[in-house]
Structure 1
Amino acid sequence: MEWTGARYADKPTVQVQTWIDGPPERVWAVVSDVGLMPEMSDELQSVTWCDGATGPALGVRFVGASSHEALGAWSTQSQIVEFEPPRVFGWAVQDPENPTALWRFTLQPRDGGTELTQWMQMGPARSGLSLAIDRMPDKEQKIVFVRLREFENAIRGTLAQIKQRVEQA
């Protein structure tokens, strides 16, 4: 695990990686199927493709509905901004030019399997977390730290489930 940044304006990031006993093509089939992600997430509840799309491609959009005990329920629209099968799958949340978050899976062949990395960046655009920071600006670093830890734990869980799905296939 690795994370950087202490203030929201710094565009803090978190990154976690794991090794999976399976070729990148098999791992790619799971990570690029965003419809599977709610099954592997406590926060993401559902994903719906937009504009008649039925699968991932560069520029395609999808809506994710999420729920969090402290933050409530919300939906965001994301756009796929990186799509290089079977190596990179990334999306921007809300406006791709000024996202509230960026997410990316990177797959690298390694030791007869795949090194899978999931990375995310908060900001630079305002998000729901910005509202909490507005209410308690003196606690910004703690708010950002806590949310990064939540993302780190969620990513660890997602990667473990992807690993299990691929290795048991």
Structure 2
Amino acid sequence: MAEATELIEASTDISASPEAVWAVVSDLRRMGEWSPQCRKMIVRGNPIGVGTTTININRRGALVWPTRAKVVRYEPNKAIAWRVAENHTVWTYEIEPKGKGVVLTERREAPGGKTTAVSSTLVNALMGGREGFENELRVGMAESLGKIKRAAEA
């Protein structure tokens, strides 16, 4: 196991109902529309729920790589989360009602501040090291949340 920041997260206020935001974030097939890194999620099985698996196509510049994930949390209108097999991180979208809208939080958790040795080696060799890569993830979260906000408020 290798070191990773245990929690990276970002939030945004959205002027839409929990149901409207849920309709956007729970449709994993649309992940490529929101994420600057995960360009496509191929969902295996329907309907989506705990246990659903995905094959994800990720891209950073000319570098393209696949990952696999499994939905580990599925609470309609509240939260969806999946665990990435290759690095053991958990990605979550959580919806909290606030006034006439919601706060949407996106987070990446590396349980115990650890990731796999393979993932760490690739981040260090091909993605500029942990600090730069994790900063890129923070910027990407803000971009994803902005796109989700625009879609949910439309």
Q: What TM-score does the superposition give when structure 2 sets the normalisation length?
A: 0.86
Aligned equivalents of 1:94, 1:24: Cα separation in 2: 29
State whether structure 2 residue 154 is matched by structure 1 residue 163: no
CA apart distance, 1:90 = 0.4
Quote the Cα distance in structure 1 between the aligned partners of 2:119 and 2:40: 18
2:92 equivalent to 1:92: no
Same amino acid, percent of matched pairs: 23
Quick one: distance in 2 between partners of 1:57 and 1:109?
22
Q: Is the 8 A contact 1:103 1:121 kept in 2?
A: yes
* Structure-1 residue corresponding to 2:42: 48
TM value normalised by structure 1: 0.79
CA positional deviation for 1:132: 4.4
- CA change 1:105–1:127 in 2 (3 A) is farther
Residue type at the aligned position of 1:37: M
The aligned counterpart of 2:54 is 62
Unaligned runs of 5+ in 1: 1-7, 136-141
**Alignment length (residue pairs):** 149
Name the larger-Rg structure.
1
Q: Letter of the aligned partner of 2:109 in structure 1?
A: Q
Aligned to 1:102: 90
Aligned: 1:15 with 2:9: yes
**How far apart are 1:13 and its partner, in Å?**
2.2
Contact 2:36 2:144 in 1 (8 A): no
Contiguous gaps of at least 5 residues in structure 2? none
Deviations 1:107-136 (A, max 9, x none): 110011011000002443234342343x6x
1:28 aligns with 2:29: no
Please state how far the C-alpha of 1:42 moved relative to its aligned partner. 2.4
